[in-house]
């Protein structure tokens, strides 16, 4: 029983920490962040799946946030986004 509680607690904590690092979709350049590149993705006919695909790619690039800049295609959506990070400060 103790192992089950520990496993559940670990799963909850790991999901919370992952969520805190996920890239967030924004509508404008976030204060304190700078553009570091662009990404693109293809994802079916559903805008939600395209947003999810772009979010995953932004996460993989280490972005803190992303802004979708274009979406096109009638049957298979293609989208591009700008990704942003907090600039590193020299020590």
Tokens of 85: 């990070």
pLDDT tens across 78-89, in order? 999 999 999 887
Tokens of 31: 């204060």
66/79 Cα distance (integer angstroms) = 12
32/87 Cα distance (integer angstroms) = 8
Segment holding 49, helix H or strand E = helix 47-60
Per-residue pLDDT of the chain (91 residues; tens, 9 = 90+): 555 444 454 444 444 444 456 899 999 989 999 999 999 999 888 899 999 999 999 999 999 999 999 999 988 999 999 999 998 876 5
**pTM for the whole thing?**
0.72
CB-based contacts of 80: which residues, under 8 Å, 6+ apart?
38, 39, 40, 68, 69, 70
- Sheet of 78-85, strand order: 24-25, 65-72, 78-85, 34-42
């Amino acid at each position: 029983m103790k192992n089950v509680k520990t496993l559940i607690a670990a799963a909850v904590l790991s999901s919370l920490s992952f969520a805190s690092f996920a890239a967030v979709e924004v509508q404008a350049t976030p204060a304190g962040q700078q553009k570091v590149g662009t990404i693109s993705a293809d994802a079916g006919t559903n805008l939600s799946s395209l947003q999810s695909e772009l979010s995953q790619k932004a996460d993989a690039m280490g972005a803190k946030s992303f802004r979708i800049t274009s979406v096109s295609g009638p049957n298979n959506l293609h989208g591009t986004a700008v990704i942003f990070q907090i600039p590193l400060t020299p020590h």
